[in-house]
Amino acid sequence: MSVRFETPHLTFRAITYKNCNEPFQITEETITLTKTSNEGYTVGDDELLVEVHAAALNPVDLYLYNSSYWIFGNKPKGLGRDYCGVAVKVGSNLSAKFSVGDRVAGVYTRPFGPGTVSEYVLINHKKFGSTLRVPPGVLLTDVELAAWPLVFSTAAEALEVHRGSKPIGKDSVVLVIGGATAVGQNLIQLAKNHYQVKKIVSVNSASSNAFVTGLGADYTIDYTVHQNLLKPTLEIIKTELEGEKFDFIMDTVGGSDYFSDINLVLKPRKEGSGYATIVGDQKSNYVSANIFKVLTFFGIFARIISSALGWGFKYSYFLLTPSEKYTSWAMDMFEEKKLKVTVDSCYAFEDHQSALARLSSNRAQGKIVIKVKKSL
Ligand SMILES: NC(=O)c1ccc[n+]([C@@H]2O[C@H](COP(=O)([O-])OP(=O)(O)OC[C@H]3O[C@@H](n4cnc5c(N)ncnc54)[C@H](OP(=O)(O)O)[C@@H]3O)[C@@H](O)[C@H]2O)c1
């Protein structure tokens, strides 16, 4: 599939917004290409031009939209971080990794920059290098292929980097607060199928029990019937885990229920335990969520500093750093049939408002995907 561009301007449709006071809309965007001596116009040496087929939404899209104050200017800002599509132009430095026509997928995170719900994305692979050629053994549809990169990478980074000092392994006991969130689903599958951990406890609503146990959770706690998670968690430690506390706690929804009694649920730090959150102390409210609100919580900073100084328990609050390491790891797991992708719902490009409404509901079980290519 060789596409020859005869002008330096590639014009296409994308979903964009200017600021938090204006709605998302379909706009015409332009990428400027570079002239070559023999093939018309192409991309920079480190760039990959992708014709996007499908793109998934993430709560961070709403966080960024809600945070896009006038100070960030009125330049169009894109929707979407995950994508799958086809490489239509490959920069000269990337020819060992990609060929024109390759099926590709990855995460492209440029806060307040272009998004992936766009007919084309131009990716500087040196700066945003999580894109991968999809191996032929990965038998996912385009919609499924767009529905894992950001959340899988976040789960992988949590287990690899932000756990305690002891690597997660066969003797680990893991608690996932929000086992039914898209990040939680991937974390459960990684913990069970890759690290083969001993036990996983998931906090989710009762309506997701069968779903999370199907992915690998051993026990569940229904957050809808407990105002505070400490008591039911202590009960599971006592009855099901025979007194064994957790090696790693991962919070994917936000909260602070355990901090006052952390020693009752988390093993001692000297045994390599850790607690990580990707949200902070407050439950995320996708409708009003704002990246600046998270940063105003003193407790998070106090815990990060005391953890870094070696006081108390090992605590991390982190933002994903996309990496080829995680996306290629997922490809291996897809080929080995050890990772399932759950798509909650799928929308046409023109129906992006319905997709955003579903995302805002915080009820999606799996990813919300927008079909960018009409024929999907
Ligand atoms: N820091 C980072 O780098 C990073 C990266 C990715 C995501 N995140 C953040 O992580 C959070 C999760 O993202 P996501 O895309 O995985 O979420 P998601 O898939 O949109 O989560 C939806 C699910 O959350 C569950 N849920 C809702 N309220 C809950 C509660 N109080 N306790 C437990 N589960 C609850 C619901 O399942 P049930 O009610 O049926 O259990 C629902 O199906 C978001 O706030 C997102 O912004 C941060």
Distance 253 CA to ligand 1 centre (A): 5
| Pocket flag, ligand 1, residue 208 (CB < 6 Å) | yes
Q: Which of 195, 106, 85 is nearest to 150 (CA)?
A: 106
Distance 54 CA to ligand 1 centre (A): 21
Output the six-digit token pair for 277. 């959150």
pLDDT (0 to 100) of residue 134: 97
Residue 295 has pLDDT above 70, yes or no: no
Residue 2 has pLDDT above 70, yes or no: no
3-state secondary structure of 61: helix
pLDDT (0 to 100) of residue 334: 97
Residue 58 has pLDDT above 80, yes or no: yes
Ligand 1, atom 27: closest residue by C-alpha: 362
Residue 294 has pLDDT above 70, yes or no: no
Give the amino acid at 86: V
User: Averaged over 45-54, what is the pLDDT?
Assistant: 96
Q: Which domains are delineated in the chain?
A: 9-148+342-371 (3.90.180.10), 151-317 (3.40.50.720)
32 forms beta bridges with: 9
Q: 35 pLDDT band (50/70/90 cuts)?
A: confident
Q: 11 pLDDT band (50/70/90 cuts)?
A: very high
Of all atoms in ligand 1, which is nearest to the CA of residue 364? 43
